[in-house]
Amino acid sequence: MLISMTGFGSAQTTGASIGRISVEIRSVNHKFLEVVSHLPEGFLSLEENIKKAIEAKIKRGRVTCAVNIAQPQAGKVFINESLLKDYLCALKKMQRHLNIQDGISLETLIHLPGVLSLAENNITGARLWLRLRPLLDKALEKLSHTRVKEGRALHLYLKGRAGTLKGNLGMIKKRFKKIISQKAFGMLNEEERSSFLKEADITEETERLAFHISNFLRKLDMNGPVGKELDFIAQEMQRESNTMGAKSCDAQMSAIAIRLKSEVEKIREQVQNIE
């Protein structure tokens, strides 16, 4: 079963004390597994936990995980009584020392730094992780589902392209046998014929391409990460197609060779998305 490296998954939850937490995970093609996390300020310590959870599910691709927290508005006013007493003590001492008769108003006191503040909902990293882990698992499950779904579509597409490639290969082999007999027959001597066959013979290339196509189709039906292997096989198919095009001794063979190269390029483009 092929698995695509492209996908998306998200999950969110809402709680009275912790607010709304959302997780979004996106993945795109990459040579290796790369995990990038975007976390709210103060929660970078959870980056390693997130990375391990993703690595347990995904083997290849560039994965971006974004975590957002919308905390509920604080509803209580906090009075720092200890600080307020210190302010009062200091102000009264200053009054006596400087012989100031003016009283100390409440308005003056509440505007002193740190006296009044809104109570905050402080969420620890450990507390957030307890709520975040199930969301992360849910988002990863959705991501995996989309990657598998796209993998099925890629499987059908690549199998069709490989089938077309096989058909074109059959056509070029048939045309080669016909044209090689015609051209060799019209040559004056054995030396000229031998030189022509040496330059134009594509038997080795067609056999190798046939092997690569069969190997490619076999790998398509295997489980596990096969993207790198398929890419390598596609490179080899491209090499053989290019050589056949270069050795072509006939306009019709050249046209078929161009179609071969076109099919291989389409295959190479799509295998880049396979895990």
Residue 248's domain comprises 150-271
- Answer whether residue 158 is part of any domain: yes
Do 29 and 6 form a contact (C-beta atoms < 8 A)?
Answer: yes
- The number of domains in the chain is 3
Task: Note whether 44 and 93 are same-domain residues.
Answer: no
Per-residue pLDDT of the chain in tens (275 residues, 90 and over written 9): 899 999 999 999 987 666 789 999 999 999 999 999 999 888 888 999 999 999 999 999 999 999 998 866 555 666 778 888 888 888 888 877 777 777 777 777 777 887 776 555 566 778 889 889 999 999 999 999 999 999 999 999 999 999 999 999 999 998 888 887 776 666 667 776 677 767 778 889 999 999 999 999 999 999 889 999 999 999 999 999 999 888 887 888 889 999 999 999 999 999 999 99
Is the same domain home to 81 and 192? no
Beta strands 33-38 and 61-70 are parallel
> What whole-number distance in Å separates Cα of residue 168 and Cα of residue 263?
9
CA pair distance 54, 60, nearest whole angstrom = 10
Residue 166 is part of a domain; what is its CATH number?
1.20.140
Q: Determine phi and psi for 73, rounding to 5 degrees.
A: -65, 135
Are residues 68 and 86 both part of a single domain? no
Judge if 242 and 172 occupy the same domain.
yes
| Long-range pairs of 248-254 with CB within 8 A, sequence gap ≥ 24 | 248/200, 248/202, 249/179, 249/180, 249/183, 249/196, 249/199, 249/200, 250/175, 250/179, 252/175, 252/179, 253/172, 253/175, 253/176, 253/179
Q: What is the CA radius of gyration of the chain?
A: 35
